[in-house]
A and B are shown apart, each in its own frame.
Chain A
Amino acid sequence: MSIPDSQPPSSTAPTLWNPAAETMPRAERAALQLERLRGLVTRAARVPFYRDQFAHHEIGPHSIRSLDDIRRLPFTTKSDMRRHHPLGLLAVPRKELARIHGSSGTTGTPTFVGYTARDLDIWSELCARFLVAGGLRPEHTVQVAFGYGLFTGGFGLHYGIEKVGATVIPAAAGNTRRQIDIMRNLAPEVLICTPSYALTIADTARDLGIDPRTLPIRYAHLGGEPWTEDMRREIEEQLDIAAFNNYGLSEIIGPGVSGECQAHDGMHIQEDHFLVECLDPETLEPVPEGEPGELVITNLTREAMPMIRYRTRDIARIYREPCTCGRTSIRMSRVTGRTDDMLIIRGVNVFPSQIEEALLRVEGTTPHYLIEVSRPGTLDEVHVKVEIHPEIFSDRMDRMQALCERISREIHTVAGIRAHVDLVEPRSIERFVGKAKRVLDKRNLKD
């Protein structure tokens, strides 16, 4: 197996970190993927979990004759990782590990992931690629306001920045006033954090009497949580910066699976290292190209923890049209939802995040809400219960009815469904510790 060596950005193609890999002709890349997929199957057979499944289905490297043969391979899920807690999916002896990271554990038991030294090197290379795609140059300074710890964000980006040869300020997450102080003292051009933290920085700057637009940051690579185009516009305007999206997950490697270029039109998937499928989460068949589906990712080059067809539960679209930037990879849209909370309403896929976006547009804040789906006859009916709060309450009935209509219209625009908006009394929607329950599906959709 050969991995193209990374090269410093050349002057003729300043936004490409590794031109050979990033602009590789598609046929050539497909051949490389096929070769790497066979190698992956060989290496994965060292993991008892995969070895048993391969034996059961009589699968080996010989079974992979074309990239489509990936569909003969089994899926891997988060529960498989939990069943093999903490490090039962390693394909190398424990002593070969150079580092261990972990998932945040927001959806259950935290899961650990191991990296060999070579895995870490590839990871840095992948981060370097999307950082350079967003404009990072060796002479730049980058403030990393991601958590440094088990979370893959901090260290992943840190070493990517070092790889490019730029200067890192490992500010880590939190203490927003100090973040602003650092910015004003050291004048970094680039900020790395979550999208919501970028807005917190802007708010805090204003509280300190500083116009956030005057902060030295010129652009930001944001990730680690789902966000929307509206949020991007808000961040760009409030901080007077360009904001770039990137995608990754610790189970696969961390940030670096894909990232945006200057075109801001989808994230380039680093296909020489990841084989990404976009499947219907119900049938597990590929969705038509450009349609939203669940991303199922195979990490082709990972030594320590090969992941075969990992079901991310993230919903996005994948498209193949060539990008103006010259990269030849396929691209993915931002993540628009999760399969675990996805609703299909009258044939339309709806995510609570879309309802949330609609409420945000109308009210300027996100109130407590609950999506109730029922099927009184043959058609699905959706009621969105929205808790009233002082900012939106009026003594005038016409205003209250107009508010319901506006929310309903916005939901239609964002999610493509007609919903009844029911205003309800404060604190009438049940509160949950941690992640809120946003959906009550009263339909009996089981066969």
Chain B
Amino acid sequence: MKLQQLSLFLENRPGRLEAPLTAIANEDINILTLSLADTAQFGILRLIVKEWETAKRVLEQAGWVVNLTEVVAVDVLDRPGGLAAALKILEDAGLNVEYMYAFSLRRGDKAILIFRFEDPDRAIEVLLDKQLHVVSAEELMSFVP
């Protein structure tokens, strides 16, 4: 149920974001979604791609420091209060969200969110228990063009 997320360390200066994206584009790897966390000085680029193993190898060979993290994709109703309801469940269960970002694709009336939990396994348990839909890697890939 968990997704593999790649994280890259980037210096926060012009042109630094383009280089790794070109490197994986050259391998014909499509980015399903990404998020960028940054300070004035450096940034952390997080990527969800289908061929994460190839992408990781290519990036590491090109000299980037790449970290592999397990994240959880959850779909919520794409309407006011949809995300808040999901977050309420997580909060009630005492689950700490390290960070989250939205998936760039929508599926019908659902929006997909990527969550980084301290304890992804327990998070999945709680989410399933509360009838939320946890999107598996296969499922995610299936509706990506």
B116 touches A423 (CB 8 A): no
B42 touches A423 (CB 8 A): yes
Give a binary string over B37-76; 1 marks a CB under 8 Å from any A CB, 0 the rest.
1010110101000000000000000011111010000000
Q: A401-B39, A422-B41, A423-B42 are in contact. Are A428 and B11 (CB under 8 A)?
A: yes
B37 touches A397 (CB 8 A): yes
Q: Which residues of B contact A423 (CB under 8 A)?
A: 9, 41-42
Expressed in whole angstroms, the Cα–Cα distance for A422 and B40 within the complex equals: 10
Contacting A at CB under 8 A, from B79-119, are 98-99, 116
* Candidates A395, A398, A422; contact of B7 at CB < 8 Å: A395
Expressed in whole angstroms, the Cα–Cα distance for A427 and B65 within the complex equals: 11
Q: Which residues of B contact A390 (CB under 8 A)?
A: 65-67
Expressed in whole angstroms, the Cα–Cα distance for A428 and B5 within the complex equals: 25
A395 touches B64 (CB 8 A): no
B64 touches A397 (CB 8 A): no
Indicate if A425 sits at the interface (CB-CB under 8 A). Answer: yes
Indicate if B10 sits at the interface (CB-CB under 8 A). Answer: yes
Q: Closest Cβ of chain A: how far from B58's Cβ, in Å?
A: 15
* Candidates A395, A400, A424, A425; contact of B116 at CB < 8 Å: A395
Indicate if A389 sits at the interface (CB-CB under 8 A). Answer: yes
Expressed in whole angstroms, the Cα–Cα distance for A423 and B40 within the complex equals: 11
B46 touches A395 (CB 8 A): yes
Q: A400-B44, A401-B39, A422-B41 are in contact. Are A395 and B11 (CB under 8 A)?
A: no
Contacting B at CB under 8 A, from A388-432, are 388-390, 393-398, 400-401, 422-428
A426 touches B44 (CB 8 A): no
A426 touches B116 (CB 8 A): no
Expressed in whole angstroms, the Cα–Cα distance for A219 and B41 within the complex equals: 47
Contacting A at CB under 8 A, from B1-42, are 5, 7, 9-11, 16, 37, 39, 41-42
Expressed in whole angstroms, the Cα–Cα distance for A5 and B21 within the complex equals: 76
A393 touches B99 (CB 8 A): no
Q: Which residues of B contact A428 (CB under 8 A)?
A: 11
With CB as the reference atom, state the residue of chain B lying closest to A395: B7
Expressed in whole angstroms, the Cα–Cα distance for A425 and B98 within the complex equals: 24
Q: Closest Cβ of chain B: how far from A114's Cβ, in Å?
A: 50
Q: Closest Cβ of chain A: how far from B67's Cβ, in Å?
A: 5
With CB as the reference atom, state the residue of chain B lying closest to A398: B98
Expressed in whole angstroms, the Cα–Cα distance for A398 and B44 within the complex equals: 11
Expressed in whole angstroms, the Cα–Cα distance for A25 and B41 within the complex equals: 60
* Candidates A388, A397, A398; contact of B65 at CB < 8 Å: A388
Q: Which residues of B contact A401 (CB under 8 A)?
A: 39
* Candidates A395, A400, A426; contact of B63 at CB < 8 Å: A426
A427 touches B116 (CB 8 A): no
Q: Which residues of A contact B37 (CB under 8 A)?
A: 397
* Candidates A389, A397, A400, A425; contact of B99 at CB < 8 Å: A397
Q: Closest Cβ of chain B: how far from A369's Cβ, in Å?
A: 15
A425 touches B64 (CB 8 A): yes
Q: Which residues of B contact A394 (CB under 8 A)?
A: 7, 67
Q: A424-B11, A428-B11 are in contact. Are A396 and B65 (CB under 8 A)?
A: no
With CB as the reference atom, state the residue of chain A lying closest to B9: A388
A393 touches B9 (CB 8 A): yes
Q: Closest Cβ of chain B: how far from A405's Cβ, in Å?
A: 12
B63 touches A389 (CB 8 A): no
B67 touches A393 (CB 8 A): yes
* Candidates B7, B11, B46; contact of A425 at CB < 8 Å: B11
Q: Give me 25 A-to-B residue pairs in the complex whose CB atoms sit less than 8 angstroms apart, sorted by A's number.
A: A390-B66, A393-B7, A393-B9, A393-B65, A393-B67, A394-B7, A395-B5, A395-B69, A396-B99, A397-B37, A397-B39, A397-B44, A398-B98, A400-B42, A422-B42, A423-B41, A423-B42, A424-B42, A425-B9, A425-B10, A425-B11, A425-B16, A426-B63, A426-B64, A427-B63
Query: Which positions in B face A, CB cutoff 8 Å?
Result: 5, 7, 9-11, 16, 37, 39, 41-42, 44, 46, 63-67, 69, 98-99, 116
Which 7 pairs show the lowest CB-CB distances between chains A and B? A395-B7, A397-B37, A388-B9, A393-B65, A395-B69, A395-B67, A388-B65
